[in-house]
Structure 1
Amino acid sequence: MEICPPTLPLEIIALIVDILASDGVPDLQSVKSCALTCKSVLPFCRRHIFASISLVFMSDCLELFDALAGSPDIAMCVRHLELGESFVEYDGEARADPVTFAHLSQMIDAFTVLESVEVLQLQEGSTKIYWENIRPEMQNLITRLIRAPTLKSLTLRKLGAIPWACLIGLSDKLRHLHLHSVTIDNNDEHTELVPANPIRLERYSINEKSLVATNALLEATYPSGAPIFHFGDLKHLRIYSKRIITHEDFLYKLLAAADQLSTLELEGDSVRMLLRTSILISARQKVPRQVVLCFSDIFGPGTMVDALLALGGNALGAAEELVIYVNGWGWALGELDNCTRTGERIDGLLTDKGVWPHLKAVKLIMHATAWNRLRSDGDNPEGAETLSQSYIRTHFPALSSSESISFNCAINVPGYASGPAHAIRTTTFTLDSGFTSAFHLSDDEPH
């Protein structure tokens, strides 16, 4: 007698797909494989496969338009859209025929559930693109994207002299705004475009070159004098400083308006820049509960130890939660392996009540470049996991065993996938203070 395999309910299949595509460890390659199994599974997969779209070249636009022509319902899956710099350069590929712009215009009209937009997605060594140098048709399309009524998050990068009308017409649903090297042309204020309700930002991210633009947002008001951009609800503020902050008064005005911060995130191209920014902030701002520090392997003089010691000595030492990101941990691993014993010094500093007296939680996230330092023989993930846990306990013994500080450490390292050469495997090892660990392995196609 023929035995029929059990049939899973569609709700269970949808849940499996959602787990594969979860934000924690997304596995879109597996989701794509699931999409090929049968038609009933396809809708559950599409909402993840097409959730984020990146248009870097005009050819990307044409491919997406063809996909939408065959399956119009794909448009209802797109929640995040990125435009690349070559897409908007006046003398670049963007000098395409009007038909291409018409296609893009139709697609933007179809994206009715768009929640997040990024303009521009930048390449290495990119320079600022000024609004006047963008083709008029593309200016109109960007303006429509920026002012989408469903938009909750907007990122603008290296855009010069963007018209005030673009920003003043933002949806009052916007909660996250990220400005990187952005300037605003506010000669024509277009006060008739002001939103009916103030824009209540909850997350704001800037670099030192966007402080003048920030001041313009702070000074924007309704005829009644009420602020259009309300920073009083701001919970997360991120400041990236590559150079010395020259507009300290604008920074202090922002800190005064953002009096409900729960998270302050600082990143710099050097320890010196990070410390300078922290000193400016701690002089005027009550330190929020959580402080996030982002280090990089392109640092000049100074180390993480120097930074953590100095930061603990100023007002940031009052933080209860500390999150440390280290990008390019290959450099830091080198220090951990030599006689300076950086890991043990960090471990001692963060558990020293004289330096960081109020810490209740520490999260250390290391993005490694030196996989061979942590991998075992071959590509055995279980062996590498055991080795990494031993590594963490050895170099962070006080934090790992602390009863007063909750400690979580994650190491993300590149591996080598067997099979197609284009595959990329990223391995994450995590360890908390209770020695409960989780191991995640994902295969993603390169972008």
Structure 2
Amino acid sequence: MIMAVAFSQPLIPLDIIELIMEQLANDGDTMSQRALKASALACRAFLLICRKHIFSSIRLDGQEGDWSINEFKRILEKDPAVARYVRQLHYFNDFSGKRGPRILRHLRRVRELTIGSVDRMEYSPSRKDWNTFSHPFRQSLRYFIQYNDIVALSLVSISNLPMYILWSFPNLIDLELFNVAVASEAWPKKFRGPERPPELSILRVRHWSIRAMQDILHAVESGASQVCDLSGLQDLYLETEDGRGGRSLDCINSILRSSRSLRTLELTIYPGLVCLETLSQNLTEESLQTLKKITIGPVIDGPSLDPYLHFTQVLEQISGKNILEEITFDIQIDTDCHCSVEPTTWEQIDTVLSGKGFPSLRRVLIQVTVAWYSPGHHEFHSGVESLGSTAFSRLMENKEVDFDFTVKLEEGVQVWAEGEELGLSDDAAALTLSASEAKDVLAKWTTSVESLMGWLDWSYWVKCRPACGYEEMCYLPTWPFFGGGPRGPRPPKDGDQDRYHSKFLNWVWGLESSTPPGLGSRTALPGEGDDDWLRPQPRCIRRMEPYGERISSS
């Protein structure tokens, strides 16, 4: 801590302290937030500096029980001035009680609003019907919107959402739709909307929201009042829907035709959409003179698919008519699905970009993620890696373009696959790992899994309740230290659970033995059962021997 004595004035000038705290707030990660909160407890001067950052973003979730909503309500009642610090509000899962409205009426300076229904334990969360929101809550939400200048709005897992609600946000420039479906009610006769609908600069359409966006666009095309203005759209981020390629492509093309100043285009393409060739016909001439960054993320699930989904033809057609500076292909090869590793298939991007039709191009990134769980994956992985030296000779020689080709195994799979290759499975003929090599592998795996957990920010979504003691840590059993996930190896059955635990859980957590996986014995942790493999729950686990755990109530 940057202090001489607790609760005394700091030795460093407060303006320097304020810059440090501002940087911690901008970092946004869990550790920075903890440091910010700890600093606020140091002295009153630090408290006055830190609390505007601590309360700048608030998350209220009714699914977490009464804690988050009631606690913030208590803070506001004790010190209403805290409300003026709130700039971002994330509100989930409480649309019928009185607690939410009592909080909303205090807030007057919110700029970014996220609202919806979220179940963090589900991969595909169910939608909350807008019509089930209580009348008092909807009324409070309406007043809240009127009293706050909302410029960024995220709608999450809501069904029957009235599309005209967007008119309540006249200054809206950033809209995200995540798992949203709009109401299918007929447009009122002789009904006219505002003269100036929200003019969007940023649009994100994610996770089964293509249909909602299509309905919004169709309302305009059918002669109804315009729901939102996309002519000034600068940044478009869109995920297609698995198995609905035609609908997704129609939506993309409609948005492209509407925009006149596109700057960033990012498309994540799930199986079902196999060709992007028509995009060039819908990019307006104005957008071609402003578009600087394109990211295409195909998911390849078969050997016949072009890894670029024919986007190279789009590049051919806009050659000489663009100011593109950066092109990224984030290609995912789906589980157990081969794709071609012939250089002639992959070098088409090298051929297109080697001409003089892209004078502003400065960076080309091709990143291939291989999700491969079957024995023999190594040969295929090596074949993809070899493309970096055989398929992109012109790009590699171009000194004006920063070219990068990377191949990686999916994070969790990488640990499992490497363990198989090192002979750590019980059916391996022999274990060739020395003690020092085993220690190095353990360190590497621990870093990899911690990196993945940090990216997922599990400490934010999953917490032990009641909180763990000082000598404990909150632990969420996870593959490969526990069982499988929806895209990984399935949970073992019957006696196979012993194999997985003996290989990973005991060794990594040091519960019994320091020997590498496959050589140690296994003793079940208290509270383990068949249900834990299907729906793992956070637990408090001791940091030091004797190891043990207690199950946390969730």
Residue among 153, 175, 178 paired with 2:176: 178
Aligned mates of 2:58, 2:222 — CA distance in 1: 32
Q: Do 1:120 and 1:156's aligned partners in 2 also have CA atoms closer than 8 Å? A: yes
- One-letter identity of the residue aligned with 2:387: R
Identity of aligned residues (%): 16
Aligned to 1:432: none
How far has the Cα of 1:176 moved from its partner? 0.4
Aligned mates of 1:414, 1:137 — CA distance in 2: 39
Greater Cα radius of gyration, structure 1 or 2: 2
Residue among 312, 331, 338 paired with 2:378: 338
How far has the Cα of 1:135 moved from its partner? 2.0
- After superposition, the C-alpha distances for 1:401-443 in whole angstroms (9 at most, x for unaligned) are xxxxxxxxxx95447999852389xxxxxxxxxxxxxxxxxxx
Q: Do 2:117 and 2:157's aligned partners in 1 also have CA atoms closer than 8 Å? A: no
Q: Do 1:164 and 1:189's aligned partners in 2 also have CA atoms closer than 8 Å? A: no
- One-letter identity of the residue aligned with 2:94: F
The 5-angstrom pairing of residues 215-294 of structure 1 reads: 215=217, 218=220, 229-242=228-241, 243-247=243-247, 251-270=252-271, 272-273=272-273, 275-276=274-275, 278-285=276-283, 288-294=291-297
How far has the Cα of 1:31 moved from its partner? 1.1
Aligned mates of 2:182, 2:72 — CA distance in 1: 31
How far has the Cα of 1:75 moved from its partner? 1.3
Which structure shows the bigger proportion of residues in strand conformation?
1
How far has the Cα of 1:79 moved from its partner? 1.5
Aligned mates of 1:201, 1:54 — CA distance in 2: 25
- One-letter identity of the residue aligned with 1:244: R
How far has the Cα of 1:325 moved from its partner? 5.5
Aligned to 1:55: 60
Q: Do 1:80 and 1:114's aligned partners in 2 also have CA atoms closer than 8 Å? A: yes
Aligned to 1:421: 473
Aligned mates of 1:147, 1:139 — CA distance in 2: 12
Aligned mates of 1:104, 1:325 — CA distance in 2: 40
The 5-angstrom pairing of residues 259-408 of structure 1 reads: 259-270=260-271, 272-273=272-273, 275-276=274-275, 278-285=276-283, 288-294=291-297, 300-301=301-302, 308-316=307-315, 319-323=324-328, 332=370, 338-340=378-380, 341=382, 342-345=384-387, 352-353=394-395, 368-369=411-412, 376=440
2:1 paired with 1:11 = no
- After superposition, the C-alpha distances for 1:38-80 in whole angstroms (9 at most, x for unaligned) are 1111132222222222222161221210121223222122211
- One-letter identity of the residue aligned with 1:332: V
Aligned to 2:520: none
Aligned mates of 2:83, 2:197 — CA distance in 1: 29
Aligned to 1:87: 94
Alpha-carbon distance change, 324 to 80 in structure 1, aligned in 2, over 3 angstroms: farther
- One-letter identity of the residue aligned with 2:282: R
Aligned mates of 1:249, 1:384 — CA distance in 2: 43
Q: Do 1:208 and 1:241's aligned partners in 2 also have CA atoms closer than 8 Å? A: yes
Question: When the two structures are superposed, what TM-score results if normalisation uses the length of structure 2?
Answer: 0.55
How far has the Cα of 1:165 moved from its partner? 4.4
Aligned to 1:403: none
Aligned to 2:112: 116
For CA contacts below 8 A with separation 6 or more, give which structure has more relative contact order: 1
Aligned mates of 2:41, 2:405 — CA distance in 1: 39
How far has the Cα of 1:234 moved from its partner? 0.8
Aligned mates of 1:160, 1:19 — CA distance in 2: 38
2:51 paired with 1:46 = yes
SS at match of 1:187: coil
2:212 paired with 1:210 = yes
Aligned mates of 1:145, 1:352 — CA distance in 2: 56
How far has the Cα of 1:192 moved from its partner? 7.5
2:102 paired with 1:106 = yes
Q: Do 1:174 and 1:201's aligned partners in 2 also have CA atoms closer than 8 Å? A: yes
Aligned mates of 1:112, 1:154 — CA distance in 2: 16
Aligned mates of 2:190, 2:81 — CA distance in 1: 36
Aligned mates of 2:89, 2:220 — CA distance in 1: 27
Aligned mates of 1:71, 1:83 — CA distance in 2: 21
How far has the Cα of 1:264 moved from its partner? 0.8
Aligned mates of 1:377, 1:254 — CA distance in 2: 48
Aligned to 1:91: none
How far has the Cα of 1:142 moved from its partner? 3.6
Aligned to 1:154: 153
- One-letter identity of the residue aligned with 1:345: L
- After superposition, the C-alpha distances for 1:121-156 in whole angstroms (9 at most, x for unaligned) are 522232233222222222223434555541111111
SS at match of 1:233: coil
Q: Do 2:298 and 2:330's aligned partners in 1 also have CA atoms closer than 8 Å? A: yes
Alpha-carbon distance change, 165 to 198 in structure 1, aligned in 2, over 3 angstroms: closer
Question: For structure 1, which segment, 283-292 or 358-367, has the greater mean C-alpha deviation from structure 2 after superposition?
Answer: 358-367
- After superposition, the C-alpha distances for 1:152-183 in whole angstroms (9 at most, x for unaligned) are 11111332332344222222x21101123331
How far has the Cα of 1:10 moved from its partner? 0.9
SS at match of 1:155: strand
How far has the Cα of 1:204 moved from its partner? 0.8
Q: Do 1:117 and 1:145's aligned partners in 2 also have CA atoms closer than 8 Å? A: no
Alpha-carbon distance change, 414 to 178 in structure 1, aligned in 2, over 3 angstroms: closer
How far has the Cα of 1:266 moved from its partner? 0.8
Aligned mates of 1:190, 1:47 — CA distance in 2: 47
Alpha-carbon distance change, 371 to 170 in structure 1, aligned in 2, over 3 angstroms: same
Q: Do 1:214 and 1:250's aligned partners in 2 also have CA atoms closer than 8 Å? A: no
Q: Do 1:78 and 1:111's aligned partners in 2 also have CA atoms closer than 8 Å? A: yes
Alpha-carbon distance change, 107 to 280 in structure 1, aligned in 2, over 3 angstroms: farther
Aligned length: 374
- One-letter identity of the residue aligned with 2:181: V
How far has the Cα of 1:28 moved from its partner? 0.7
Alpha-carbon distance change, 244 to 228 in structure 1, aligned in 2, over 3 angstroms: closer
SS at match of 1:41: helix
Q: Do 1:295 and 1:325's aligned partners in 2 also have CA atoms closer than 8 Å? A: yes
How far has the Cα of 1:107 moved from its partner? 2.1
SS at match of 2:45: coil
Q: Do 2:166 and 2:227's aligned partners in 1 also have CA atoms closer than 8 Å? A: no
Q: Do 1:32 and 1:45's aligned partners in 2 also have CA atoms closer than 8 Å? A: yes
CA RMSD for the aligned pairs? 4.7
SS at match of 1:37: coil
Question: For structure 1, which segment, 237-246 or 30-39, has the greater mean C-alpha deviation from structure 2 after superposition?
Answer: 237-246
Aligned mates of 1:169, 1:221 — CA distance in 2: 20
Aligned mates of 1:211, 1:76 — CA distance in 2: 34
Aligned to 1:73: 81
Question: When the two structures are superposed, what TM-score results if normalisation uses the length of structure 1?
Answer: 0.67
Aligned mates of 1:47, 1:343 — CA distance in 2: 48
Q: Do 1:17 and 1:45's aligned partners in 2 also have CA atoms closer than 8 Å? A: yes
Q: Do 1:235 and 1:260's aligned partners in 2 also have CA atoms closer than 8 Å? A: yes
Aligned to 1:163: 162
